[in-house]
Structure 1
């Protein structure tokens, strides 16, 4: 393998600058990037989806780890830098120019894959909820290793009774394990964002039986839509919800953030048509 120039040099040579409109912030610290690439475990020979590679900092760390990377990049300015990586790692990198929000990963891979990405801030949560949603489970992806703003990361791994706990935590935890893998200081980026960042690692687990993902979404939407109100008020508009609370012995004077993920899935199971 030909030694690669520093990422900072690549950015300068191609005249790249992070686009605020595309939610870009470039990571330059190669040791940090190698640590991120190590979070999902041994990647040698595994298919990896990367969204928003930019000039290819994380991409080169994934390639060094032996992954077969499919990178979706919307910014045409970054394509020449990524082409250099393709030349340095023959048959390991496939670059697709396009909007990741409009591309179905199932069409890109024949078998299982992992997602590792420093997600663009402006679409990160939408992509994440898309990967976690839907009725089909287990998913085709084996793990998600994703960079978020630290506030969003904390909402994903939050526990009941905390201010960060809400719909995102339940979506991430009812049929998957989510953990905060590492925090990333704002100074690691160029340009430095205004907020701290963190890496979240998510792996799927068997889904509880008899629950529609869409019904759970409706339950949490109702419960957290008026999160300061008691459940008897916030959930009265969802048919059967108050009866489900009574059946399960859940006090309707509680507020949504006090219910566990298990309690939310129990409510959704009672409201999901069976058979």
Structure 2
């Protein structure tokens, strides 16, 4: 038995024949010391509903419950994992609610109980992680339905989330995350921490929503950053041609010969409001 009285994760994986599927972007995190560290980054969970995406055999799920999460709602697409998660649910009666299904088709705002604060904590499947983050960053209602997000990504993606203007990694993700949240990398994980080991280092990113981000239309800012960084080697007058190009840029006092990675979040917001 492990620290929480449940069988070791390797035993669970063998018993239910849970080989990670590449098609689902799965890399299982088995080290309960590391999953515990992720749970601690998310803060005090005692009165919180935690939403987890892609729990797999339940390593992080167990850590969240052991660290006192009042309730965990876990969305799992892989039906093979449901029996293992049911075992955890029985061990923590009434505290784990498993939702079988696709995270990309889930309305996350409806998963919380009325009056219960929500935090999102997940070792996101690699193939949907970025898309889910963009959706959570661009929800229409702000402040959003969640208090914070503690998420694992490939390190390269994590660097793009926390990137500053002028850096190689700065792009659409950096603008959206910088606009609406304060984001930081909490710690890195080597490939050996996972089964099977991915080819890359992973990072845990913690994001806290800004109470009052600069006002801008979410969709317009999204279109603008997509156009600007879609042709990042070109001058903005060229990459933003479809949105007004030179005239748009000059109307807000931005030199049309600049490139996307030199613009601050504030300048992108100004442009979005001018569109």
Shorter-chain TM-score bucket reads over 0.9
- Corresponding position: 1:256 with 2:260: yes
Where does structure 2 lack aligned partners over 5 or more consecutive residues? Answer: none
1:210 offset after TM fit, Å?
4.0
1:93 offset after TM fit, Å?
0.4
Aligned to 1:119: 124
Q: Which of 42, 49, 72 lines up with 1:40 in the alignment?
A: 42
CA contact (8 A) 1:2 1:88 kept: no
In structure 2, relative to structure 1, the CA distance for the partners of 1:46 and 1:210 (3 Å cut) is closer
CA distance in 2, matches of 1:236, 1:126: 26
Alignment of 1:47-58 (within 5 A): 47-58=49-60
Aligned to 1:236: 241
CA contact (8 A) 2:227 2:240 kept: yes
Aligned residues: 270
In structure 2, relative to structure 1, the CA distance for the partners of 1:151 and 1:210 (3 Å cut) is closer
CA distance in 1, matches of 2:173, 2:214: 21
- For residues 79-103 of structure 1, the C-alpha deviation after alignment (integer angstroms, 9 at most, x for no partner) is 1111111111111100111111111
Aligned to 1:157: 162
Aligned to 1:147: 152
CA distance in 2, matches of 1:210, 1:24: 37
- Corresponding position: 1:245 with 2:221: no
Q: Which of 181, 205, 210 lines up with 2:210 in the alignment?
A: 205
- CA RMSD of superposed structures (Å): 1.5
1:246 offset after TM fit, Å?
1.8
Aligned to 2:181: 176
- Corresponding position: 1:266 with 2:270: yes
CA distance in 2, matches of 1:31, 1:175: 31
In structure 2, relative to structure 1, the CA distance for the partners of 1:158 and 1:230 (3 Å cut) is same
CA contact (8 A) 2:35 2:60 kept: yes
CA contact (8 A) 2:50 2:120 kept: yes
CA contact (8 A) 1:134 1:214 kept: no
CA distance in 1, matches of 2:188, 2:254: 36
CA distance in 2, matches of 1:184, 1:2: 23
Where does structure 1 lack aligned partners over 5 or more consecutive residues? Answer: none
Aligned to 2:104: 101
- Corresponding position: 1:77 with 2:92: no
CA distance in 2, matches of 1:100, 1:165: 27
| Mean CA deviation greater in 242-251 or 220-229 | 242-251
